[in-house]
Amino acid sequence: MYKGLIDRYRKFLPVADDAEIITLNEGNTPLIPVPELAKAAGIDAKIYVKYEGLNPTGSFKDRGMTMAVTKAKEEGMKVVMCASTGNTSASAAAYAARAGMKSVVLIPDGNIALGKLAQSMIYGAKVVAVDGNFDDCLKYVRDLCQRHPIALVNSINPYRLEGQKTAAFEIVDDLEDAPDYLIIPVGNAGNISAYFMGFAQYFEAGISTKIPKLWGMQAAGAAPIVENRVFEKPETVATAIRIGNPASWEKAVAARDKSNGRIEKVTDQEILEAYKLIARTAGVFCEPASAATVAGLIKYGRDIEPGSTVVLVLTGNGLKDPDNAIKSAPEIFHVKNDIRAIEEVVL
């Protein structure tokens, strides 16, 4: 039986032999071929999506959280805390519940997707909605965790990246080598750094023959790394990457440069088009931040060498953000309770 990513990749993870593992059997997500996207982008490449929306709380954050909460528990902590655009808080709340710990989450008031808020609430987190943005929330969390015995579980916690790197391992294990390109959304920039670490470790262990070019995608209204400046007021429909001053900025730049990759921006309009495209052509529903990768493929795909293997990381499940889905596809037919009226719209 599959027992979660710590169990599967233990020899690559800093976990004590006798540690109590806090897991929801996260990881082991499918790598789905999407030839539809090669067609849409007009390129000759084998394209796959790593559908991280199928993790237990619906995003890749669970990979980091199983590690961070296992470690917090090992260290005798009773409370975990994070700042979040939504997914980190959902994941922290779930794993804290699993561990019998308390969780406190700071979120930007009014700027998190409905599904994510519902999750944090039902898992029993203390939800604090701050009249500020993500970067403000993270500042307060750092301060509070320094002054109180509370475990900080944002991605500046190094165990988060350790857990998240296992997604790169899974991709190599599935493809039997690393892909040529990996396209990934960039917000606080932890995940692109974690993938680089994972690909590099497998390469050094002789399990893969190459490290993929990492292509990070930021939203045009929150593109600090692309423009090399802090965005004081980041704005984008892709709330999971609505971050103006990424904590792992330098790590992400190093991952980009060491992999011969690039970090680019896509507009909200391009993100929303891509969000609909992948749902309608491939049958895969991801959240807007994840669709930034699809938008990046459409926009920059002409630079991909013919015959390449490309993996897009779909970081979160579309069900997290029902409001944007409904706004993006407003066609509903309202009809009378009458067979002829129904027949008329059906045909």
Ligand X SMILES: *Cc1c(COP(=O)(O)O)cnc(C)c1O
Residue whose Cβ sits closest to ligand X: 316
Nearer to ligand X among residue 185 and residue 234 (C-beta): 185
Nearer to ligand X among residue 40 and residue 240 (C-beta): 240
Cβ neighbour number for residue 257 with a 10 Å cutoff: 12
Nearer to ligand X among residue 84 and residue 309 (C-beta): 84
Nearer to ligand X among residue 43 and residue 284 (C-beta): 284
| Least distance to ligand X, CB of residue 191, Å | 3
| Least distance to ligand X, CB of residue 217, Å | 9
Nearer to ligand X among residue 43 and residue 62 (C-beta): 62
Q: Which residues bind ligand X (CB under 6 A)?
A: 59, 61, 87, 155, 185-191, 240-241, 287, 289-290, 315-316
| Least distance to ligand X, CB of residue 63, Å | 11
Nearer to ligand X among residue 94 and residue 289 (C-beta): 289
| Least distance to ligand X, CB of residue 181, Å | 18
| Least distance to ligand X, CB of residue 225, Å | 10
| Least distance to ligand X, CB of residue 340, Å | 44
